[in-house]
A and B are shown apart, each in its own frame.
Chain A
Amino acid sequence: MLTLARLSWRLQRFELVSVVIIVALLAAAALVVREHLTALNVPTSCFAGLLTPGPGSGCGAAAQDFFSIDNSEAVPVLQAMTVAPLIAGILLGVGLVGREIETETASLAWSLDGSRRRWLAGRLLPMGGALVALLTVLAIASDLLVAARQPWVDPGQTLVDLDAHGGLLVLRGAFAFLMAVLVGAVIGRTLPSVIVATAVVAVVIAAGLVLTSWWLRANVDYRAERVDAINLPGGLNLGTMSRGPDGLVIPDEVALSLAPPGVDPGTWVADHYENVYAFVPGRAYPQYVLVETAAVAVVLVLQAAILLATVQRRRPV
């Protein structure tokens, strides 16, 4: 197994080195930005003074610097964190079986070991293991950065930067990896597989975002008072809505459309509806992680089963 692992890494040295560089740069960037943010030593009370109306604590300037760094440095790094696992997965996955078929080396490997399941395990595990190890580094770095940019929040209880940190990055990378291996095995050519795998991963991630949005809406809560990052630590603000006397909450535009003809809709809504803030509390984060982990785990098992069936039936050229 060690020989297979060593040779697998050597066969995909270019992709592996590329992914190591991407992960190292991004993790280093996260740690540098975290250092920039923590070095400011801004007390939480400063954020309260800046974000909510009322008497400030006189340290607004420091908080302004904090948010400036946050916007210009932390946000781009976290945006890169959302796509890096997908890129890493596709890079490592697409050539794993696809290139073997393209260069016809599959016929050598598959003639030496008639059990393609064993062969596939020998190729998948070293590369998948390397990917998981690298993405774990990225996940830890992203967690540290997220904790630093919201020092007033428990990092395990925040929905902010939902797509950009934590163990979910590892799972999404694993999904992209298996999808790329599968597409490569079906198409049997590297470059077209990169394009198709990228498109398929993008579509699935978009579908995942829709599901996430449904889940968030299913867990929404309402408050009459304004919610923001401070008085709603770790929560996700979904904007304002209108609550009728019967307690039913509807979007503002729907409430406006219900105004009778001849009256000012704004005044009518203000008289008949209460303006409320919709939000998902940060404490829902562990539950969200559980749901996404379970969903991705099911997808990974399905992908692995389809991949195995594909490789079993595949002609080597």
Chain B
Amino acid sequence: MVEVSVEPLVAVGLAKRYRGRHEWALEGIDISFRAGAITALIGPNGAGKSTLLRAFMGFETPTRGRALVRGMEARRRRADALRHVGYVSQKAALYRDLRVADHLALASALRAGFDREGARRRLRDLAISLDIRAGELSGGQRAQVALAIAIGTRAPILILDEPMSSLDPIARQDFLAMLSASVAETGVTVVVASHIVAELEGVCDDVVVLAPAHVMLHDSIAHARATHSLVPADAGVAGDAVATFERAGQPRVSLVRVSDGGNSTLDDLVLGYLNAARQGARTC
């Protein structure tokens, strides 16, 4: 086994096509997630966000290429690779008949070094009873329990696969607060897939915009915002246009690359690059 990288998460030419499907879920992606950063992985349904994250978990066998966790191929050295990863799935699936405390006991039994006391403390802080069955928790509470378990693994990498997709705004806020507090405390590397762009802006350092099957943008949010501007489509501003698109009830606008002094928001960036993908652009 050749360890080509010790970066937290690296995809090398990663491609995936599901059996019986004509289209590619991922088409030869090369990406490296920055250590210690929270990266927002944003893209529409079917863009391949979950496939990418699940490849890092060793849950998917790449059709081509490799998904590396700290230089270890996730699929082949799953047991070693996953020691470095905490994971929250899309549904934040828990055992509905087990109590929250049982989940922490299960995590302790399955993961060496699991921080049971820390997880208990986090859940108590959120007023989630340890004696309640998971089936009786709200969607937000389930996500909090799943996140507390992932953080409790003390893994240096957290992979969160759209954990907030079914949460209400308050639950999302609590979730992100818990995530931010943990990152501030431990400095872990986080990749969080989501549709909800606005709330990620204040929390994430980097952004990856994944259009169907390939990466459209990968940059730090601060840099990307500073180097992109949203201008009226007919303004004729100098710059490299990413895409021209329409927003509901507003005149057509263009997202353009500028050398500095950009005025875009994360939402503008995401919309611009997703529209670029729709219009046929293939790369960042």
Interface residues of chain A, those whose CB is within 8 Å of chain B, are 1, 3-4, 7, 10-11, 13, 103-105, 107-116, 119, 122, 313, 315-317
Contact = CB atoms under 8 A, between A and B. Distances in A.
A112 B114 CA distance: 9
B79 A105 contact: no
A105 B98 CA distance: 12
B59 A3 contact: no
Interface string B70-111: 000000001111110111010101111110001001111111
A116 B59 CA distance: 11
Given A107-B89, A111-B57, A115-B79, A7 B105 contact: yes
Given A3-B105, A104-B89, A107-B59, A11 B149 contact: no
B107 to A, nearest CB: 6
Contacts of B110: 4, 109, 112-113, 119, 122
B146 A108 contact: yes
B28 interface: no
Contacts of A3: 105-106, 108-109
25 contacts: A3-B106, A4-B110, A10-B97, A10-B102, A11-B97, A104-B89, A105-B95, A107-B57, A107-B89, A108-B87, A108-B89, A108-B93, A108-B94, A108-B149, A109-B106, A109-B110, A110-B59, A111-B57, A112-B106, A113-B82, A114-B79, A114-B80, A114-B82, A315-B60, A316-B59
B111 A113 contact: yes
Interface residues of B, number: 36
A294 B25 CA distance: 47
A1 B105 CA distance: 11
Given A3-B109, A107-B87, A112 B97 contact: no
B93 A103 contact: yes
A112 B91 contact: no
A7 B101 CA distance: 11
Nearest to B93: A104
A110 B89 CA distance: 11
Contacts of B78: 114-116
B97 A104 contact: no
A63 B109 CA distance: 60
Nearest to B58: A114
A107 B88 CA distance: 8
A304 B153 CA distance: 30
**Chain A at the B interface: SS class:** helix
A257 to B, nearest CB: 56
B1 to A, nearest CB: 15
A4 B95 contact: no
B212 to A, nearest CB: 20
A94 B222 CA distance: 51
Nearest to B107: A112
Given A105-B94, A112-B111, A115-B79, A315 B149 contact: no
B93 A107 contact: yes
A164 B134 CA distance: 42
Nearest to A1: B109
Contacts of B111: 112-113
Nearest to B83: A114
Contacts of A11: 95, 97-98
Contacts of B59: 107, 110, 315-316
Nearest to A313: B61
Most buried by A among B106, B146, B153: B106
Given A13-B97, A108-B149, 4 more contacts: A108-B87, A108-B93, A112-B110, A114-B83
B166 to A, nearest CB: 13
Contacts of A115: 78-79
Contacts of A116: 78
A9 to B, nearest CB: 11
Contact of B109 (A4, A104, A111): A4
B109 A103 contact: no
Contacts of A114: 58, 78-83
A10 B81 contact: no
Contact of A7 (B80, B83, B102): B102
A202 B102 CA distance: 37
B258 to A, nearest CB: 41
Most buried by B among A10, A104, A107, A116: A107
A152 to B, nearest CB: 51
Nearest to B89: A107
A223 to B, nearest CB: 60
A110 B78 CA distance: 10
